[in-house]
A and B are shown apart, each in its own frame.
Chain A
Amino acid sequence: MDDELLNDFIEESVDLIEKVKVALAHWDNTEDKVEAINSIYRWVHTIKGGCGIFNYTTTAHLAHSLETYLGDLRKEAQKISAAHISHIHQEIEKIENSFFSQNSEVSTSVEIKQEPTLEFKTEYFKPYVDDNTELLNDLIKDGFSFFEVILPKDLADKLIEKLKEYGFSPIDSYEREEGIATLCFVKLEAESKYIQSIENLVTHYQGQWCSPKPEVQKKDVPKSQAPAQTQEVLRVPLETVNSILDHVWELFLVRNQMNHLFKENKNFLKDNHAFVQQFESLDNLLERNIHELESKTMSMRLSPIKKVFDRLEKVVEEYCQKSSKKIQLHIGGAGIDLDKKVLDQLNEPLIHLIRNAIDHGVEDSTQRIQKGKSTNGNVTLSASLQGNEVHIFVKDDGKGIDANKILESAKRKGLATEHLKTEQEILELIFASGFSTAEEVTDVSGRGVGMDAVRKSIQELGGNVSLETKVGKGTTFKITLPLTMSVSKCLIVEVKGLEYGISTKSVQSIEKISPHALKKNGVDEYYEFHGDLLPCYSLDVSEKDFRREPDLPISNIHVCVTKVQDKLVAFKVDNILQTLNVVIKPLPTLMEKHPYLSGVSILPAGNPIFILNVYENLLRNIQDRSGAKNVKRTA
């Protein structure tokens, strides 16, 4: 994981340095110089932060200097001269050179091949270990553990047979005076059911688990002797990846059509068994390869949000090492996959929010104890899918944000405050550029660079950031982002003759029933679910009925149960056709947006479908139907 994070950091920093250079090169032609200098400032701030996490100390210091210089400069952006630009250029080049020289130091720092990291109770296995260093190192890397035992000579054979039954072959044995010294390896998680037996054996025969040594000495070697980096990275234009994905899907459709053609003509081919068999075999192979290709190509576009969350964990770890505050980071919803482009842009704002939470939000242990809180501050980072949006929360249980202090600070800075009526409007001031109530600028935050940058970054992604806070209790920042592309498991349902996709995350339970099984009260319908009556709504997306025979009665319907505003409700669909993993894309650009439509997708057969926002649809239904509550059974 750390290697992956480091690679991401290196890539991101290279991008940011390049962005700064391009911005400087186009400075004379830039219309909005205030925005341009603010952007350069944010990028340098991000480079500095990342360098701090990954111990690029020299580069971090250089970035910090430049950040300070830019901080003063941006107060009077219109007066920035060619001399200033030249100076910034020189500084960014120093940062770049320092960055790459530190980077190459990291990559040339190699692990000296030492003895495998096994600490033995005895010296018996040293010759074996010396001769098999590489193998043992590989096994340790793959998560294998080793144990040594001294078995009584008369029982050794039987016990070794037992170990073999458990799947562990001894890799080395020596006959000694005291018994047969035996060395074995085991991958604990694979053979966990035998672990207790092994433990008993090891304990009984005075053996031990050979643990890896905690540190491996590193030695700088000249670049020429440095081994090549193990992971090669290729930067590919986004357009190319999109084009490949389109072709993969087309390939999939063509394959489906061929398959369909074959099935239609199977009767004519039934006497040619060999052909039919071969065709089916090749077709299966083709389908598997296409799926594999699709999966690999999708992985180029999508990435789990966990990657960003892992990085934030490091931010918190690093902070806790330098500070007296104790912070517990809780993470939820890390399994969501998002477009890489979105994730790249989310890094910066989330780092700012986390830093603000831990630096300004959470109190130190003494203050927390005085307030009756736990010693450790709690910061929660979570993500969830809601309809066609991703919601990301950064929540702390710290001191909250005092609207009065915000107002005072705004007045001191000369900002207009007369028009602000509500507390929420006052709190929105924290998103103003350069606004900070922090008494001191720390290495972590307080430059007022975070919140305006956060909002701007999120808005560039088509999203928004909002906050809720309570003085003394804590603050929650909520980032809402539209889904640009995601793979989601969907129910393909039929309503009034049209097929739609509904995310399975929207549905808790499904039942096929007769329409008459629903209880009625006038035009309102109710579905009995585990002893409770839930209001049941039609998923009335379409005003038109697209069924070929709309007057034909429906013998069965499917009722799905979901939660809307923390209450269980039911909705009905005419049919549930299948469950599929589909790629949800946003509605085509020129199409009018509608709250009931989350996006579009393409089914394997080739026809496109609309993806429904069930939540919005039902919310509207609930608002229309007045006074309905869950009815409790009385008998």
Chain B
Amino acid sequence: MLNEQLNEDDFQEQVIHLTFSYGKKRFCAPVDTIKEIVDLPVIIPTPVSLEHTLGIFNLRGTVIPVFDPFDFFIKEFEQRGPLFTHFLQKQKTRLLIFEIKSGVLSSIPVTEVNKVELSQNELGSDHFIEINSVPYEYFDVNKVWEKK
């Protein structure tokens, strides 16, 4: 063992990320940007059309908005009306809660949440990450909400 050539990667710090599917796309985000993952609660839909907003839910006394920043769910939301939550439940959807800045929370509906450890090398500098030869778009919370 002592004679083996040690790989540079062996010295890299591993950063925990979560991969998830949001809409039909796969994303990856550092775990420290994610405040909580909750099972799908009762989502009260917004009565009027608000940009990128599906509704609100109650998390231990705090009202948190459910967003759809890339408008993946907008059609289902409009078509299904009161059955939209049921539709999400069937998909085994959970809510990923982000803290954008102190006390400002938001959430998105996601599926297939998994934990993965990535080194700095693997993270690279592009907006996408390759994990086991599968591309994942990097989900930068601040940039997503800055644009919206």
- Smallest Cβ distance from A496 to chain B, in angstroms? 8
Q: Are A596 and B48 in contact (CB under 8 A)?
A: yes
List chain B residues, Cβ under 8 A from A597: 47-48
Proximity bits, B41-58, A CB within 8 Å = 1, else 0: 010111111110100111
Q: Are B63 and A608 in contact (CB under 8 A)?
A: yes
Which of A498, A542, A548, A607 is in CB contact (< 8 Å) with B42? A607
In the assembly, what is the distance between CA of A245 and CA of B62, in Å?
A: 10
Q: Are B58 and A607 in contact (CB under 8 A)?
A: yes
**Which of A39-47, A280-288, A587-595 lies at the interface?**
A587-595
Closest to B61 in A: A249
Q: Are B48 and A608 in contact (CB under 8 A)?
A: no
Query: How many A-B pairs with Cβ below 8 Å?
Result: 87
- Smallest Cβ distance from B81 to chain A, in angstroms? 5
Closest to A250 in B: B60
**Which of B6-14, B100-108, B123-131 lies at the interface?**
B100-108
- Interface residue ranges of B10-52 to A (CB < 8 Å): 42, 44-51
The reply on A467 being an interface residue by CB < 8 A is no
In the assembly, what is the distance between CA of A220 and CA of B51, in Å?
A: 67
Q: Are A497 and B82 in contact (CB under 8 A)?
A: yes
List chain A residues, Cβ under 8 A from B64: 588
The reply on A161 being an interface residue by CB < 8 A is no
Q: Are B47 and A602 in contact (CB under 8 A)?
A: no
Which of A246, A499, A609 is in CB contact (< 8 Å) with B60? A246
Closest to B64 in A: A588
Q: Are B81 and A546 in contact (CB under 8 A)?
A: yes
Closest to A602 in B: B58
The reply on A606 being an interface residue by CB < 8 A is yes
Which of B51, B57, B82 is in CB contact (< 8 Å) with A592? B51
Query: Chain B: residues with CB nearer than 8 A to chain A?
Result: 42, 44-51, 53, 56-58, 60-65, 67, 78, 81-82, 100, 104-106, 145
Q: List 30 A-B contacts (CB under 8 A).
A: A245-B61, A246-B61, A246-B62, A247-B61, A249-B61, A250-B60, A253-B58, A253-B60, A253-B61, A498-B44, A498-B47, A542-B47, A544-B78, A545-B81, A585-B63, A588-B56, A588-B65, A590-B104, A591-B50, A594-B50, A596-B48, A597-B47, A602-B61, A602-B63, A606-B58, A607-B44, A608-B57, A610-B44, A610-B46, A610-B47
Query: Chain A: residues with CB nearer than 8 A to chain B?
Result: 245-250, 253, 495-500, 541-548, 585, 588-592, 594, 596-597, 600, 602, 606-610
**List of 10 A-B pairs having minimum Cβ-Cβ separation, nearest first:** A249-B61, A542-B47, A246-B61, A250-B60, A546-B82, A541-B47, A592-B50, A588-B65, A600-B63, A608-B58
